[in-house]
Amino acid sequence: MIEVTRHKFPNGLTLLHHHNTSTVMAALVVMYDVGARDEVPGATGIAHLTEHLMFSGSRHVPDFDDALQRAGGVSNAWTSCDETIYYCVLPAVNIETAFWLESDRMLHLNLDDESINTQRSVVIEEFKQQALNVPYGDVEHLLLPLAYRVHPYRWPVLGRTVEELERVDNDTVRAFHDNHYDVSRATVCVSGNVPVERAISLTERWFGDIEPRALAPRQLPAEPFQQEHRALMVERHVPATAIYRAYHMPARADAAFYAADLLSDVLANGQSSRFFKHILSNGKVFTELDASVGGTIDPGLFYIRGRLCDNVNVESAMKLVDDEISRLQDDGPSQYEVDKYTNKALSHSMFENVDYMARAIKLCQMEHMLGDANLINTEEARYRAVTPDDVREAARTILRPDNCSTLTYSTTN
C-alpha cells in the first residue's frame, strides 16, 4: 500500500505526496498537462522545444541546473504525446531550493529570441540524431500518420520535419507556452523524506499565489475507426528488412487496457512467450520479434515489430506471426500463461515503485492518466482480474487485419 496524500489548491494546482523515511533524499516532480497532441500542423515539435526552454533560465535564476547542483541536486525532463514531466532529485533538507526553482520558471521563464533560437538549434540537432541519422529512426514519422488520420497522435514528439521546427516563429513558441504552461495544468509531487505538512507548506509558499490564466479548452478530434488494412513499404540503408505493425487499442484508463497489456506479454515477453518459442527460437526467419502497448490518454497503439534474417520472404515471415495470432484468437492463452505474465507485470511494477523518484513520476502519471493517483494501489487487482477469455477477446478485438497499419523497411543494394 502506497500512502498518497492529495491536496488541491484554489488556483487549480494539484499536490501529491508520499513520505519515504528510508532515504535522506527527495524528489520534486512537476508534470504539465501538455504534450505533442496539443500541437497543430505547421508547428509540430514545439512541445519538445518548450521543454528545452524550461532550462534556459528565468528572471531570478539564470542557470537552473547550476542553482540545483549547488544544493546537491540533479534534474531532467521529457516530453510525451500526452504530458511533459520535470524532476529534481536532491537532499531532502534542501527540497525548498527545488520549489523555488520550479516556481520561478513557472512564473518568469526566459522566452527571449536568443533563448528560443538557441534551443531550436538543439532540438533540430536532436531530431537529426534520433530520426535521420540512425537505421529505422524515422519509423514513427512513417508509421504514426499511417495509423492515425486526424488525431494529433499522428506526429512524433520530435515533430514532423526539421523544416517545421526551422520555420515556426518565436511568437508562436511563446504563445504555445502561455496557452499550456499554467499553474492550473500542473501537478506537483513530493516523494522522499519530506513530511506532508512541510510539502503542503512549501507548495503554498511557492505556488499558492500564482494566478491561473484563462485557457482555451482542449478540443482534439476523435480518430475514426480504422476499417481497412494500410500498408507502406520504404527502401532505406538499413541492416535488415524490418516490419512494424500498429493496431488501434484502448486508452490507458480503459478497463480493457490490462488485457491488452497481458496480450503483448503472452506474445513476446521473454523466452517462454509464444513468439519466442514458436518463431524466434528456430533462428531462421526473425532475428528480433517483439510486441508492446502504448499507454496513452486517448486510444493508442499496440505494436508488433520484427527484423528478418537475410533472404527471408516478407510474406512467409508474417504468415508465421499471423498464424500465431490466430491460434491465440481461437484458443486463448492458458490460465498458467495469464498468471505468469500477471506476476511478471506486478513484480516489475513493485520494483519500479521502490525508488522514490520513479514513484513520484508514476503518481503524477496515474493522476493524469486515470484521474486519481491513489489508483496506483488498485493496479494489482486490475491485473489479477484479467482472465484467459479477456486476453483472447483482446486478441480478437485488437489484432484484426482491418485494424492494422504495416510499415516495411526493405534494404537498398
Q: What is the CATH number of the domain that holds 332?
A: 3.30.830.10
Give the CA distances from residue 268 to residues 174, 293, 312, 337, 347, in Å, rounded to whole numbers and listed in that order.
44, 11, 21, 12, 17
pTM: predicted TM-score of the whole model, two decimal places: 0.95
Q: Is 215 part of a structural domain of the chain?
A: no
Q: Are residues 341 and 405 located together in one domain of the fold?
A: yes
- Bridging pattern class, strands 230-236 and 242-249: unpaired
Q: Are residues 141 and 264 located together in one domain of the fold?
A: no
Alpha-carbon 195 to chain mean position? 30
Q: Are residues 146 and 40 located together in one domain of the fold?
A: yes
- pLDDT value at residue 348: 85
Give the CA distances from residue 231 to residues 3, 142, 150, 375, in Å, rounded to whole numbers and listed in that order.
47, 10, 17, 38
Best CA proximity match to 182, nearest among 215, 216, 220? 215
Please count the structural domains in the chain: 2
Q: Are residues 60 and 160 located together in one domain of the fold?
A: yes
Q: Are residues 64 and 128 located together in one domain of the fold?
A: yes
Helix (H, G, I), strand (E, B) or coil at 345: helix
Strand boundaries in 218-345, DSSP class E:
230-236, 242-249, 286-293, 300-308
Best CA proximity match to 274, nearest among 343, 321, 331? 321
Grid cell, residue 287, equals: 532475428
Angle at CA of residue 113, ends 112 and 117, nearest 5°: 125
If one counts every other C-beta atom within 10 angstroms of the C-beta of residue 218, the result is 12
Q: Are residues 31 and 180 located together in one domain of the fold?
A: yes
Q: Is 259 part of a structural domain of the chain?
A: yes
What does the mean pLDDT of the chain come to? 96
Best CA proximity match to 160, nearest among 290, 297, 274, 46? 46
Residue 207 exposure: Cα atoms within 13 Å on the Cβ side? 32
Q: Are residues 201 and 235 located together in one domain of the fold?
A: no
Q: Are residues 238 and 171 located together in one domain of the fold?
A: no
Domain boundary among 148, 176, 207: 207
d(CA 223, CA 38): 15
Grid cell, residue 237, equals: 540503408
Domain boundary among 207, 222, 244: 207
Q: Concatenated DSSP letters for 219-235? A: --PPPPPP-S-EEEEEE
DSSP 211: P
Q: Is 221 part of a structural domain of the chain?
A: no
Q: Going residue by residue through the chain (413 aa), what tens digit of pLDDT does each one get?
A: 889 999 999 999 999 999 999 999 999 999 999 999 999 999 999 999 999 999 999 999 999 999 999 999 999 999 999 999 999 999 999 999 999 999 999 999 999 999 999 999 999 999 999 999 999 999 999 999 999 999 999 999 999 999 999 999 999 999 999 999 999 999 999 999 999 999 999 999 999 999 999 998 898 999 999 999 999 999 999 999 999 999 999 999 999 999 999 999 999 999 999 999 999 998 899 999 999 999 999 999 999 999 999 999 999 999 999 999 999 999 999 999 999 999 999 998 887 777 889 999 999 999 999 999 999 999 999 999 999 999 999 999 999 999 999 999 999 86
Sequence-ordered list of residues with C-beta below 8 angstroms from that of 266, at least 6 positions apart, any chain: 273, 274, 328, 333, 337, 338, 341, 391
- pLDDT value at residue 413: 65
Q: Is 220 part of a structural domain of the chain?
A: no
Q: Is 96 part of a structural domain of the chain?
A: yes
Q: Is 344 part of a structural domain of the chain?
A: yes
Q: Are residues 131 and 26 located together in one domain of the fold?
A: yes
Domain boundary among 172, 207, 242: 207
Q: Are residues 325 and 203 located together in one domain of the fold?
A: no
Q: Is 74 part of a structural domain of the chain?
A: yes
DSSP 72: T
Q: The domain containing residue 377 runs over which residues?
A: 230-411
d(CA 42, CA 160): 9
Q: Are residues 200 and 262 located together in one domain of the fold?
A: no
Residue 304 falls in which region: left (phi positive, over 0), alpha (psi -120 to 50) or beta: beta
Q: Is 99 part of a structural domain of the chain?
A: yes
Q: Are residues 203 and 237 located together in one domain of the fold?
A: no
